[in-house]
Amino acid sequence: MGMTDLYTPVLLDHNANPDYKYTIENPTCSHDGVNPTCGDELTIQVRLADDGTIAEAAFTGHGCAVSQASADMMADAVIGMTPEEARKACQLFKRMVRGEEKDQDALEELGDAACLKDVSHMPSRVKCAELAWHTLDEMFGDEAASGKATTTE
């Protein structure tokens, strides 16, 4: 596995033409994540629908191609999920890039993000790839802890 194999057309396209890089007007929650090792900085925003599922997910910020593409893939993957399901997907992704989960069927739920599994061979890129997912997981973890995620308006 060479270093360049990570930069697949799918990854490069998510980086160059992200579908979910914008600011949500009325987000339900928002959370910042930083990867000081590489200098990646992301703000993840989510708007929940009345039924509690993720209606909208988006990100802003800057960083390397891997961190940006991964954030775009994540937003695409978690729309329609409940926060709980999204956290499970985040944890699955983190296991994948750490080389702990290799089951292709299990990884399918991550959508395009499954193509980042080879990051597990590049320890220096793992934190870039998981930044968005870690940030979303942390955001919903904080929300659950404060009870905000269960509040309806």
Is residue 67 within the footprint of Zn ion (CB under 5 A)?
yes
Alpha helical stretches, state H, 59-122: 65-78, 83-97, 104-107
Residue 37 Cβ vs Zn ion, minimum distance, rounded to whole Å: 8
Residue 55 Cβ vs Zn ion, minimum distance, rounded to whole Å: 28
Window of 1-9, 38-46, 93-101, 111-119 that interacts with Zn ion by CB under 5 A:
38-46
Is residue 11 within the footprint of Zn ion (CB under 5 A)?
no
- State which of residues 128, 136, 139, 149 lies at the interface with Zn ion (CB under 5 A): 128
Is residue 59 classed exposed, middle or buried when 0-12, 13-18 and 19+ CB atoms within 10 A define those classes? buried
Task: Calculate the alpha carbon distances from 127 to 25, 41, 97, 140 in Å.
Answer: 28, 12, 9, 19
Residue 50 Cβ vs Zn ion, minimum distance, rounded to whole Å: 36
Q: Are 20 and 58 in contact (CB under 8 A)?
A: yes
Is residue 139 classed exposed, middle or buried when 0-12, 13-18 and 19+ CB atoms within 10 A define those classes? buried
Is residue 40 within the footprint of Zn ion (CB under 5 A)?
yes
- State which of residues 34, 38, 55, 81 lies at the interface with Zn ion (CB under 5 A): 38
Cα 73 to its chain centre, rounded Å, is 7
- Identify which of residues 28 and 67 has a Cβ nearer to Zn ion in the complex: 67
Residue 78 Cβ vs Zn ion, minimum distance, rounded to whole Å: 20
Q: Which residues bind Zn ion (CB under 5 A)?
A: 38, 40, 63-64, 67, 128
